[in-house]
Amino acid sequence: MTVLEVGRLRFGYGANTLFEEVSFSLALGDRVGLVAPNGSGKSTLLRLMAGELEPDSGSVVRRNEASLGYYRQSHEHVPEGTVLEAFLSEFRAIVELRSQLRKAEERASSGTKEALSDLARLQDAYHLARGDALERRVAELATKLGFADCDLARPVVSLSGGERGRLRLGTILATDSSLLLLDEPTNHLDLDTIDWLEHYLRGLRAAVMVVSHDRAFLDVVTNKTIELGRQRARIYPLPYSDYIVAREEDLAREESIVQRQQEFISKTEDFIRRNIAGQKTKQAQSRRKMLEKLERAERPEDVWAGAERMAFRFAPALRSGDIVFEAKGVSAERGGRQLFSGVDLLVRRGERVAIVGPNGSGKSTLLKILAGVGSKEDRGAVRRGTNLQDGYFDQHLGELDASLSSVEQLRLVRGDLTVESARQYLARFRFYGDDPLRTISTFSGGERSRLALAKLLLEPRNVLFLDEPTNHLDIPAAEILEEALVSFEGTVLFISHDRRFLENVSTRVVTLRDGRCEVTMTSFRDLQAPPPILDDEASVAAVEIKREPVQEGAGRISFETGKLQRREFERKKRRIGELEAAIAKAEVELVCLRDDLKGHPADDWEKLADLAEQERSLSSRVEEMMAEWAKLSDEVGT
């Protein structure tokens, strides 16, 4: 059942059109990923769908009985009361009954018959309204989102920004709406909670549209992808990774059509110029009229093209010592709670160490201790290596002065930069036109993240401490940062909940959980992969392979090769599906053609010859497709 229809939607701010001619529908069971670079209007489109904004033209029609749940990126409104009351805030009737019940319980302490009778009546009403069941369901949701039982009684005003984000997500999920609009729902979630949310959303009957930069999350949750462009929206019945392969093929095909048409137009115009006044004047005039009526193919819009122009380049730095850090017996506690203790960690030059764990396990605390900016009460010793030039990326972006422009921010670090050279440098991070002169207070989260990274990379670094560097980056920016870090010759210690980023960047993993620290010598990708079943001989061979030294630059080559291989594999799978559908359709057409040939009058030779030629051509085409299908099936192992 369709719950929402969007028709020819257009929206912009003044002369700046964000998008137009956007049309699609959402039905129960649809789980749609809305993707585009930052600044394309994804959040604006969700607001239009939610009825918070009016479009310049077009329509958004929601079924009357379709209930809406809308999770926003920003959480300016802080509800009053406790965490449990905030979770129940969307159920006003039950909240009111619950309030009356609490007051009745206080009055019942008097022991009067009237007060006891009133309490019994309200208890029955609360039970019939399924308030008890709702409280249990909400408590379970709260637990899955990282709130302990004791947290339910905490005042909402005491929560951190991340906790408020998780609280707001919980209140939306508790409504059990038939239409869910989720804008970056994983931003404040740890890996365990993201895993739970993926399974939760896949099990819903509702229509779900999600904006996210988490590629793994999109692949698991969505069954459809909508790419929001300025000129139109591209719709693919595929999850994110498959969509990336399909859109590249579409763009290549559309570009080829434009190119062929341009060549045809160029040749035709050349013919007209040469023959307009000669013996072939009529032909030239005819072709001129044909060109005038020709519908010109438009060059395809590549919404990611500008986003992919960002360039993370590291300034040349000194070579650090082989031992970068050696931590012994590191311990930390906050608010009277022990986060971790007795952490021993040796980090060598060139390693990329990921620190993972649930929210509140102390990841940022450990990173700060290793960076030398921990608290005085922390225990243990961290011995630094030689020639270290380190830089720290704070996930809260606290080092940016919101009252300055990005040019002024950079010149605080490098006073030798002119305004023009600063603007040229910022262009590598997708700050164009007047963007470098705007005050940082007007920047989006993605713009602030890019500026913080630009500031970090302005000076030579051979050690990087990165706390959630991809939190506000769009997908191309995150991928470009991945590639830059893989080729970085220094050492990286980082925190991330982005599984693709963790898989592609890490060479080692430090896991914090329940006060314990586990240090592994494997990457996050290898840590997640099931161990292969090997016989004794294969085990020996595997050990020998692991002992081979890693060549300089091998990490980047492996990363690029793996990326290309995955794309090629997905392209082949998609092509197999296309061939199967095309073969089935062609075989039906062949049956119809052969029936026509059998029943056609023998005296109509021209028509008979035409049908025979169609049958031969289609039969040959089917044979070619079958051969291609068999070849690809062998290659992908289907």
Window from 159-168, 215-224, 556-565 with minimum mean pLDDT: 556-565
With residue 614 as reference, give the H or E element that holds it: helix 605-636
Of the candidates 384, 399, 400, 417, the residue with the CA atom closest to the CA atom of residue 315? 417
- Which residues neighbour 227 within 8 Å (Cβ) at sequence distance 6 or greater? 35, 36, 233, 234, 235, 236, 243, 247, 303
The first and second tokens of residue 241, run together, are: 């990774």
Q: What is the DSSP letter of 319?
A: P
Domain holding 69, by residue range, is 2-242
pLDDT digits (tens, 9 = 90+) for 613-638: 787 788 778 777 877 877 787 777 65
Q: What is the DSSP letter of 274?
A: H
- Domain finish residue from 191, 208, 242: 242
Same domain? 98 vs 21: yes
Which CATH number is 216's domain given?
3.40.50.300
Per-residue pLDDT, 25: 95
Residue 42 backbone phi and psi in degrees, to 5: -65, -50
CA distance 21 to 262: 26
Residue 546, in any domain of the structure: no
Mean pLDDT throughout 567-596?
76
CA distance 127 to 134: 10
Looking at the predicted structure, is the pLDDT value of residue 545 above 50? no
Residue 566, in any domain of the structure: yes
Per-residue pLDDT, 146: 86
pLDDT digits (tens, 9 = 90+) for 74-129: 655 666 788 888 888 777 777 778 778 888 888 888 878 888 888 888 888 878 77
State the pLDDT confidence band at 510, using cuts at 50, 70 and 90: very high
Per-residue pLDDT, 631: 79
Per-residue pLDDT, 542: 42
Same domain? 253 vs 298: yes
Same domain? 615 vs 503: no
Per-residue pLDDT, 82: 85
Same domain? 514 vs 438: yes
Same domain? 190 vs 209: yes
Are 371 and 392 within 8 A, CB to CB?
Answer: yes
Maximum distance among all Cα pairs of the chain, rounded to whole angstroms: 114
CA distance 468 to 470: 6
Window from 19-33, 373-387, 532-546, 587-601 with minimum mean pLDDT: 532-546
State the pLDDT confidence band at 284, using cuts at 50, 70 and 90: confident
Same domain? 27 vs 129: yes
Looking at the predicted structure, is the pLDDT value of residue 131 above 80? no
Same domain? 131 vs 80: yes
Per-residue pLDDT, 74: 67
Looking at the predicted structure, is the pLDDT value of residue 363 above 50? yes
Looking at the predicted structure, is the pLDDT value of residue 224 above 90? yes
Residue 311, in any domain of the structure: no
Residue 81, in any domain of the structure: yes
Strands 379-384 and 323-334: antiparallel
Per-residue pLDDT, 1: 85
Looking at the predicted structure, is the pLDDT value of residue 543 above 60? no
Name which residue leads in pLDDT, 326 or 101.
326
- Domain finish residue from 242, 257, 277: 242
The mean of the pLDDT values for the chain is 85
- Domain finish residue from 478, 500, 532: 532
State the pLDDT confidence band at 537, using cuts at 50, 70 and 90: very low
Per-residue pLDDT, 576: 79
Mean pLDDT throughout 486-504?
94
Name which residue leads in pLDDT, 183 or 529.
183
Residue 543, in any domain of the structure: no
Mean pLDDT throughout 202-214?
94
CA distance 302 to 305: 5
Looking at the predicted structure, is the pLDDT value of residue 535 above 60? no
Same domain? 140 vs 207: yes
pLDDT digits (tens, 9 = 90+) for 411-420: 998 888 899 9
State the pLDDT confidence band at 380, using cuts at 50, 70 and 90: very high
pLDDT digits (tens, 9 = 90+) for 245-275: 999 999 999 999 899 889 988 998 898 988 8
Residue 64, in any domain of the structure: yes
Length of the chain: 638
Looking at the predicted structure, is the pLDDT value of residue 544 above 60? no
Per-residue pLDDT, 568: 76
Looking at the predicted structure, is the pLDDT value of residue 601 above 70? no
Range among 82-86, 535-539, 550-554 with highest mean pLDDT value: 82-86
Are 218 and 33 within 8 A, CB to CB?
Answer: yes
Per-residue pLDDT, 604: 62
Same domain? 28 vs 114: yes
Same domain? 383 vs 521: yes
Per-residue pLDDT, 552: 43
Residue 76, in any domain of the structure: yes
Are 211 and 43 within 8 A, CB to CB?
Answer: yes
- Which residues neighbour 571 within 8 Å (Cβ) at sequence distance 6 or greater? 245, 249
State the pLDDT confidence band at 208, using cuts at 50, 70 and 90: very high
Residue 312, in any domain of the structure: no
Same domain? 504 vs 596: no
Looking at the predicted structure, is the pLDDT value of residue 244 above 90? yes
Number of domains in the chain: 4
Mean pLDDT throughout 480-488?
90
Per-residue pLDDT, 550: 41
Per-residue pLDDT, 562: 61
Same domain? 467 vs 331: yes
Per-residue pLDDT, 530: 63
Looking at the predicted structure, is the pLDDT value of residue 541 above 50? no
Mean pLDDT throughout 463-483?
90
